[in-house]
């Protein structure tokens, strides 16, 4: 079987776009420690609000404890969102906002400190409105820099061939046999090769030998068989 014949049988799928994240809101945060280094003024409505009181249970708590596990080396998006929800659940005079904040779903995190959230249209609109009226509180140790709509994230899918090329398949088979301390004879390699090309035309005996010869010349495979028909090979 010629190499051309194999290429004709291995046709890649058409490239297509695939959604990664649907439409959502981005909450861009900046650490308070960076505030003085920024030229743009960021509004902070919770400078002295490090303690909250639960409206339903009446218990108070130090909000900074919620964010204590957030390290400067790498922020945890889910912990930041949870802290954001805790700090905004006390807006008892606006129950619709409280419900909207509670219903936000975590979609992802973009370094260094941007949270992606989603929810129903009404809940997202309540969040937009609250941000516009400057009533949202940032997670402990952070300021909200801005909030905005993200119209989804898409990726262009990179197509794959239906099967691994013969040279790569042979090297993988030989390496696997060696790791399992099984003699990589030609017969054994051909047997394993039939599994790699399952439901497809398996390259013929001579084409496999020719490909092995090429790999040996390229010093990618080492042949130490004592005689023809009793071959042993291993990656170099």
Look up the CATH number of the domain holding residue 123.
3.30.70
Highest mean pLDDT among 34-38, 52-56, 124-128, 218-222: 124-128
Asked if residue 8 belongs to a domain, the reply is no
Asked if residue 56 belongs to a domain, the reply is yes
Mean pLDDT, rounded, for 195-222? 89
**Do 92 and 145 have their domain in common?**
yes
Asked if residue 186 belongs to a domain, the reply is yes
3-state SS of the chain: helix, strand, coil percent to 5? 35, 20, 40
Within 10 angstroms of residue 101's Cβ, the number of other Cβ atoms is: 25
Q: How far is CA 141 from the centre of its chain?
A: 27
Give the torsion sign (CA, 84, 86, 92, 94).
Answer: positive
**Do 196 and 141 have their domain in common?**
no
Structure tokens at 26: 């981005």
Bond prior to 26 in cis (omega within 30° of 0): no
Domain final position from 104, 128, 156 = 156
Range of the domain at 38: 22-156
**Do 48 and 117 have their domain in common?**
yes
By three-state DSSP, how is residue 135 classified? coil
Q: State the Cα–Cα distance between residues 22 and 233, nearest whole angstrom.
A: 50
Asked if residue 204 belongs to a domain, the reply is yes
pLDDT for residue 4 is more than 80: no
Domain final position from 114, 139, 156 = 156
**Do 100 and 123 have their domain in common?**
yes
The answer to pTM > 0.75 is: no
**Do 138 and 110 have their domain in common?**
yes
**Do 107 and 221 have their domain in common?**
no
**Do 167 and 224 have their domain in common?**
yes
Our count of domains for the chain comes to: 2
Which tens digits make up the pLDDT trace of 114-165? 999 999 999 999 999 999 999 999 999 999 999 999 998 888 888 888 888 9
- Write down the pLDDT at residue 62: 47
- Residue with the two structure tokens 């290429």: 7
- Write down the pLDDT at residue 195: 86
Asked if residue 152 belongs to a domain, the reply is yes
Domain final position from 156, 179, 207 = 156
Within 10 angstroms of residue 158's Cβ, the number of other Cβ atoms is: 8
Which tens digits make up the pLDDT trace of 79-121? 999 999 999 988 889 999 999 999 999 999 999 999 999 999 9
Instruction: Residue 174: give its domain's CATH number.
Output: 1.10.10.10
**Do 116 and 224 have their domain in common?**
no
Structure tokens at 190: 């051909």
Structure tokens at 187: 């017969």
Q: State the Cα–Cα distance between residues 196 and 215, nearest whole angstrom.
A: 18
């Amino acid at each position: 079987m010629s190499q051309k014949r194999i290429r004709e049988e291995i046709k890649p799928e058409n490239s297509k776009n695939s959604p990664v994240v649907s439409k959502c809101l981005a909450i861009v945060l900046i650490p308070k420690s960076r505030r003085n280094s920024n030229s743009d003024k960021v509004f902070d409505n919770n400078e002295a609000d490090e303690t909250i009181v639960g409206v339903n249970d009446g218990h108070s708590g130090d909000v900074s404890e919620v964010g204590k596990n957030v390290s400067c080396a790498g922020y945890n998006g889910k912990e930041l969102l949870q802290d954001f929800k805790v700090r905004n659940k006390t807006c008892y005079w606006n129950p619709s906002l409280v419900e909207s904040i509670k219903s936000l779903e975590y979609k992802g995190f973009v370094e260094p400190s941007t949270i992606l959230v989603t929810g129903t249209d009404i809940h997202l609109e309540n969040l937009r409105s609250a941000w516009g009226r400057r009533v949202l509180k940032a997670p402990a140790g952070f300021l909200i820099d801005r909030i905005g709509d993200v119209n989804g994230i898409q990726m262009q899918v990179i197509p794959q061939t239906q099967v691994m090329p013969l040279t790569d398949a042979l090297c993988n088979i030989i390496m696997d046999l060696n790791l399992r301390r099984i003699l990589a004879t030609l017969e054994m390699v051909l047997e394993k090769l039939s599994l790699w090309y399952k439901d497809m035309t398996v390259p013929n005996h001579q084409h496999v030998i020719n490909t092995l010869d090429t790999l040996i010349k390229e010093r990618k495979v080492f042949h130490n068989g004592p005689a023809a028909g009793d071959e042993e090979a291993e990656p170099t």
